[in-house]
């Protein structure tokens, strides 16, 4: 279940709430009981290693997708 980060405008406390994505826009009450909160924009860090290597380039060049690899750049 996703966690959403909020900040209380009354006391300045920052806290997280776990809830389904369908309820992501619902208001949240801070742990001190204040209702004047704002949802923060959080960044997500993803780490680890790939389990499948990237495909090798095709013989003969030609590109295969992506803007500059597909020839759409001038």
Q: What does the pLDDT look like over 21-73, one tens digit per residue?
A: 999 999 999 999 999 999 998 777 677 776 666 666 666 655 555 566 656 66
End-to-end alpha-carbon separation of the chain, Å?
44
3-state secondary structure at position 38: strand
| Cβ atoms of 19 and 27 closer than 8 Å | no
The pTM for the full model equals: 0.56
E strand segments, 9-73: 14-18, 37-39
């Amino acid at each position: 279940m996703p966690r959403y980060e909020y900040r209380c405008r009354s006391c300045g406390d920052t806290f997280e709430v776990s809830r389904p994505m369908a309820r992501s826009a619902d208001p949240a009450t801070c742990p001190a009981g204040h209702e004047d909160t704002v949802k923060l924009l959080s960044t997500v860090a993803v780490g680890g290693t790939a389990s499948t290597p990237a495909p090798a380039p095709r013989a003969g060049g030609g590109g295969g997708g992506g803007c500059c690899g597909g020839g759409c750049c001038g």
